[in-house]
Amino acid sequence: MVLLMNYTYIVKCSDGSLYTGWTNDLEKRIQAHNDGKGAKYTKSRRPVTLVYYEEFHTKKEAMRREWEIKHMDREQKMTMIRAER
């Protein structure tokens, strides 16, 4: 049995802005963003670079964390990103 993980992630766009999302296939999702098939927001801000992610067992947990991060200000997000490095 394969355990499917869910991810909440942050990418840095080419203009320096940050985009937060969730997925169950992180590599495929980042590639989709860079192929212009991801979110509307990232389509005109390519390429994007993965700068942060968290793993979750359920889609619900990942989506809840995405909502929390999207309500943080930029400095809070940057502090979180720096702490991971």
Question: Which pLDDT tens digit goes with each residue over 65-84?
Answer: 999 999 999 999 999 999 98
Domain count, the chain: 1
Range of the domain at 48: 6-84
For the full predicted model, state whether its pTM sits above 0.85: yes
- DSSP assignment of 20-43: EEEES-HHHHHHHHHTT-S-HHHH
Q: Give first-to-last CA distance, the chain, whole Å.
A: 32
Over residues 34-68, the pLDDT tens digits come to: 999 989 999 999 999 999 999 999 999 999 999 99
Residue 1: inside a domain:
no
Phi–psi pair at 54, nearest 5 degrees: -130, 150
- Please report, for the domain that includes residue 69, its CATH number: 3.40.1440.10
